[in-house]
Amino acid sequence: MATPIIVFDTTSDIEASVIVALLDSHGIDSFRISGHTQAIWPMSVNSLGPIRIAVADHEADTARRVIESHREDLGARVVRIRDEFEDLQDRIDYRFRDRGLLEHALTHRSRAAEDQTGGVADNESLEFLGDAVLGLVVAHALHEQYPDYNEGQKSKIKAQVVSTPSLARHAEQLHLGEHLLLGRGEEKTGGRFKQALLADAYEALIAALYLDGGLEAAERFLRREMKDALDQGATPNFVGQDFKSALQERLQALGRPLPDYRVSGETGPDHRKVFSVDVVVAGEVLGSASGNAKKEAEQEAARLALLGLNQSR
């Protein structure tokens, strides 16, 4: 059996993941090693402790060359591989004092479930907190922006602004999927592009901002992110906009059959189900979306189908 040789060490789970993926892309099998060298784990260890990356002895020199070729060279000084969260922090215009909070917010339960040490926590508790912070900030903004609207009108706008499809779109604009820490199974099934997963990570990010910088930091971020969606509340027919009816009218104008909405999957606990819906026309899927209610998912699937039809003209 080949002797493992340590070729890289770090205290960051995300940096360790980058190195493992880098070596894998060059056909080099690697292992994560915990604090003492006798315990080799296939998954990540506690992000607060040391993480060492090891390879078989006959591949050690090649692995080191690959790693060195991907370091940033600043003059004569070679520095560590760049912080994979640097671009994200630029996009959200916030620098975390506790980077661990950001890493926690982007850790999906599939990653935590594959960890054998119990040292990796998923982002579900942060998601719960972020949902509450989001609701408070949006409700406050609606109270200020639309003082003459009644409760029902503001509730409908809020539901649209904080819906799963809306949050997923914001996550996509931040390229949040690129930074998610996923388990192998979720990675293989396209977890980085799933609406429900992106929306959950977005809520967890809100919680991380709140915990690191207080309500002021979270509100500043959300006021900027949600401005366009909140402003649309003043436009006619924004509340309760019916994309399903619009899609039906568009298809009829094109002489095509009426759409059929099919539930393609359900995830999550009973008290917080996420439904995936396909809108199908003559056997062709024109749009797919997820939401906490079937009607919400259907509306978003119809919106995406309309967008596709308009782009194909």
Which positions are catalytic? Answer: 131, 203
215 — alpha (psi -120 to 50), left (phi > 0) or beta? Answer: alpha
Choose among 181, 204, 179: nearest CA to 82: 179
For the chain, where are the alpha helices, taking DSSP H only?
13-25, 60-69, 86-92, 99-105, 109-114, 124-145, 151-161, 164-173, 184-188, 195-231, 243-253, 294-311
Choose among 52, 71, 274, 36: nearest CA to 44: 52
Q: Considering all CA atoms of the chain, what is the largest pairwise distance in Å, rounded to the nearest integer?
A: 74
Could you give the count of Cα atoms lying within 13 Å of 200 in the half-sphere of its Cβ? 27
CA–CA distances in Å: residue 279 to residues 98, 194, 296, 298, 307: 43, 17, 13, 7, 13
Q: How far is CA 188 from the centre of its chain?
A: 15
Could you tell me if 300 and 288 are in contact, meaning their C-beta atoms sit under 8 angstroms apart? no
